[in-house]
């Protein structure tokens, strides 16, 4: 049985831990609201861009672009998006589990986030490039990653590019997903929430006019689409990270508070037992 001194020491230690986790919970909660708002606000634009891109592709028969070329997959690039820090529950582990399913010999990894780079180095996989993005992802950060992946595909160094990331569902739910990225002709799972289906797009009878010409517009649109979608992906990953960290720190704080209550109860019982023992000893001494 622990002594009262040991119990006091444990109570003090757990109380300090609870203060830290509570502070981290509050910080994550503040960042979570900003990240969620950024992800939600970007959805209408992403839906519109997806609609324009898919509508133009279906209307422009015979259009060809190197980014649409489907090739036999000999080498694949994986854009691995993870958090910069831990303490966010199973978020990173779920993403890494998906990333580990690809053949190590024929896969190059483009990492976004410190934890992603650490995973690639620890598992001795082939790292093509390492990128960073902050608590508030910016479009230039996303454009740099998209540009590098696009160059790998255009140079023929890889035949396919996929994204392994986390999709934000709500505060309590984040889903690790694998998204097709290049070639664009193979994109099916990139649809953002609320985007029209292929059947809906096929039923649109609107006339499409391209200025100055269809090829120039589509070439520009495809590049912007890849940049915007990767930016949208980073926003979802950051919202997922902050949400998972807030929930994880709240659970840690609640667990610490429950442990403190249990330790205080044990300490009070032990203290009461010692007082009773001393009173009995005094009463016994007086009786003698």
- List, for residues 83-118, the tens digit of each pLDDT value: 888 888 888 899 999 999 998 888 999 999 899 999
Q: The whole model's pTM is what?
A: 0.78
Question: Which candidate, 253, 255, 213, places its Cα nearest to that of 63?
Answer: 213
Read off the DSSP letter of residue 101.
T
| Residue 80 φ then ψ, to 5° | -100, 115
- pLDDT for 266 equals 84
In the chain, alpha helices (H):
4-59, 91-99, 114-122, 139-154, 198-202, 214-287
CA–CA distance, 282 with 183 (Å, rounded to integer): 87
- pLDDT for 188 equals 42
Superfamily (CATH) of domain 27-240? ATP synthase, F1 complex, gamma subunit (3.40.1380.10)
* Residue 190 pLDDT level (bands cut at 50, 70, 90): very low
């Amino acid at each position: 049985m622990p002594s009262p001194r040991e119990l006091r020491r444990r109570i003090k230690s757990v109380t300090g831990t609870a203060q830290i986790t509570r502070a981290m919970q509050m910080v994550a909660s503040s960042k979570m609201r900003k990240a969620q708002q950024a992800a939600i606000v970007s959805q209408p634009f992403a839906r519109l861009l997806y609609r324009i891109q898919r509508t133009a592709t279906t209307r422009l028969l015979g259009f060809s672009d190197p980014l649409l070329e489907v090739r036999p997959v000999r080498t694949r690039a994986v854009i691995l998006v993870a958090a910069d820090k831990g303490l966010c529950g199973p978020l990173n582990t779920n993403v890494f589990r998906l990333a580990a399913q690809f053949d190590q010999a024929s896969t190059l990894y483009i990492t976004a986030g410190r934890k992603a780079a650490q995973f690639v180095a620890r598992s001795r996989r082939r790292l093509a490039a390492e990128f960073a993005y902050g608590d508030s992802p910016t479009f230039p950060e996303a454009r740099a990653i998209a540009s590098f992946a696009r160059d790998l595909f255009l140079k023929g160094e890889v035949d396919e590019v996929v994204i392994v990331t986390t999709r934000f569902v709500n505060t309590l739910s984040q889903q690790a997903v694998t998204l097709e990225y290049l070639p664009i002709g193979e994109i099916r799972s990139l649809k953002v929430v609320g985007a029209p289906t292929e059947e809906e797009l096929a039923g649109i009878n609107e006339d499409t006019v391209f200025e100055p010409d269809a090829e120039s517009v589509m070439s520009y649109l495809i590049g912007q689409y890849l940049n915007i979608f990767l930016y949208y992906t980073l926003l979802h990953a950051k919202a997922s990270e902050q949400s998972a960290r807030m929930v994880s720190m709240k659970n840690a704080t609640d667990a610490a508070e429950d442990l403190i209550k249990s330790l205080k109860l044990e300490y009070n019982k032990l203290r009461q037992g010692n007082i009773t023992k001393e009173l009995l000893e005094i009463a016994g001494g007086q009786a003698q």
